[in-house]
Amino acid sequence: MKVTKSRSKSAGSKSGKRSKGAAITAHQASRKLTNKVSGTSSVRVLVGTRKGAFILEADGKRAKWDVRGPFFAGWEIYHMKGSPADPNRIYASQTSGWFGQIMQRSSDGGKTWETPGGEKMPKPGEFPVGKSNLFAYDTSDATGKPLTTHQFYDGTQHPWEFKRVWHLEPSLTDPDTAYAGIEDAAIFRTTNGGQTWQELAGLRGHTTGPKWQPGAGGMCLHTILIDPSNPARIFVAISAAGAFRTDDGGLTWKPINQGLRSQYIPDPTAEVGHCVHRIALNKSRPDTLFMQKHWDVMRSDNGGDSWREVSGNLPTDFGFCIDVHAHEPETVYVVPIKSDGEHFPMEGKLRVYRTRTGGDEWEPLTKGLPQRDCYVNVLRDAMAVDQLDSCGIYFGTTGGQVYCSANSGDTWAPIVHDLPAVLSVEVQTLQ
């Protein structure tokens, strides 16, 4: 059964469709060009949950796992991510609706943690203090933008208020540099290992800022992608404003939402206002982006300047997560969820869908996944891939399961069953 939305597909949404034969040829070519990872490699999976952080480790076979944690027990860990420049450097967002935001940093692969500014951990009932926990919107004349307002749920204007860090994205080349996406939507950067954070105010200060509006989960900047061929080019996504790109390291930004259509806003093809759930890319082809929107799976081949729908034969094109195979830029993974009102798999069957043709043609991957009575969700930051030659795919659920496929999705096995609800999953490939 295919879930249909109360709108028709836009004309031409299947344009540019690749033939299966062409896709296989491209797949074979990419495999020949892949730099194989040594059999001595291992993986480290970083899992953020509603009640703490966990680290899962295995060798390259990914058959036997060691589980460490919980770290920061009882706190929401919205995201953890390791530095590509130094895998021992890991950043974590520890947050609480009651006690605020704490930034955590590890320099030994997650064995020990510290607040980057040396602040003491607050006692129960105390609020965090210190510069490494301070995310202040920049309103200075030199580098900032005026603190205006944004649109609220009821259409009125509302002041910008910092709530939490949703996503951390370390620099590709410097372990002391990282970006943070926050709620209310803005992007911050540290260049001293998280001791202090500075807003890149050109994004929040964009002329469309007063039109941005929160989605159901808040007005969060949840996706940050750095172009590996050009670190000054960064893509971000905001719910519910849309996708944006900078080509000058964050000084100026432009909306990149042409081709998106959202039926629940006054102008379905507006410049901003779209609820983008996640964007992903393959590092070998950074101009090609894949998007899971509130409804629709989309593709861009020009760095986001225009998008086309590639939902194809998916049973429903609502979902949160999306990711791309490490070595095959046309192989993409999504987890379809029944609808925006029912956040669980259709028919209680947990299925990952894979395309090897860059979209339109999708196949269900079910071997090893529960196919009855499964009513979990997979959130936007809860899917990741490793860099091993036989690419591993990982995802976590709101039921506390973390699954791994060591063969690009053909078969699945649970790493753990009973964690708190999973908010994020990232993986490091170690040599």
Q: Do the beta carbons of residue 173 and residue 87 sit within 8 Å?
A: no
Joined tokens for residue 321: 């997560």
- Please indicate, yes or no, if residue 68 is contained in any of the structural domains: yes
Whether pLDDT at 54 is above 70: yes
Give the residue numbers spanning the domain of 202.
20-430
Provide the percentage of residues in the chain whose pLDDT is more than 70: 90
pLDDT at 396: 98
Question: Is 338 among the domain residues?
Answer: yes
What is the per-residue pLDDT for 167?
98
What would the two tokens of residue 383 be? Answer: 């899917």
13 belongs to a structural domain: no
Q: What percent of the chain has pLDDT over 90?
A: 82
Question: pLDDT value at position 401?
Answer: 98
Using alpha carbons, select from 402, 404, 395, 348 the residue that is nearest to residue 376: 348
Q: Is residue 7 part of a domain?
A: no
The Cα–Cα gap between 13 and 99 comes to: 46
pLDDT reading at 378 higher than 80: yes
195, 131 contact by CB (below 8 A): yes
- Give the mean pLDDT of the chain: 90
pLDDT at residue number 291: 98
Q: Residue type for 78, please?
A: Y
Q: State mean pLDDT over 90-94.
A: 98
CA distances from 31 to 34, 391, 410 (A): 5, 11, 17
Query: Comparing 21-35, 156-170, 319-333, which segment has the lowest mean pLDDT?
Result: 21-35
The string of pLDDT tens digits covering residues 217-239 is 899 999 999 999 999 999 999 99
Assess if residue 347 is contained within a domain. yes
Query: pTM score, two decimals?
Result: 0.90
Nearest partner of 239 among 258, 257, 266, judged by Cα: 257
How would residue 6 be classed by pLDDT, with cut points 50, 70 and 90?
very low
Is residue 6 included in any domain, yes or no?
A: no
Radius of gyration of the chain (CA): 20
Alpha-carbon distance of 198 to 137, in angstroms, equals 8
Q: What is the mean pLDDT of the segment spanning 273-283?
A: 97
How sure is the predictor about 12, in pLDDT bands with cuts at 50, 70 and 90?
Answer: very low
Residues shown for the chain = 431
pLDDT(168) > 60: yes
Q: Does residue 9 lie within any of the structural domains?
A: no
Domain CATH code at residue 53: 2.130.10.10
Q: Identify whether 2 is part of a domain.
A: no
Kind of pairing, strands 242-246 and 276-281?
unpaired
Tokens, residue 137: 């919107």
pLDDT for residue 298 is more than 50: yes
> Pseudo-torsion of CA 213, 197, 120, 422, nearest 10°?
50
Confidence category of residue 99, pLDDT binned at 50, 70, 90: confident
Query: Which of residues 332 and 264 earns the better pLDDT score?
Result: 332
Tally of domains within the chain: 1
19 pLDDT exceeds 90?
no
Query: pLDDT tens digit string along 59-89?
Result: 999 999 999 999 999 999 999 999 999 999 9
Q: Which residues pair with 291 in a beta bridge?
A: 279, 298
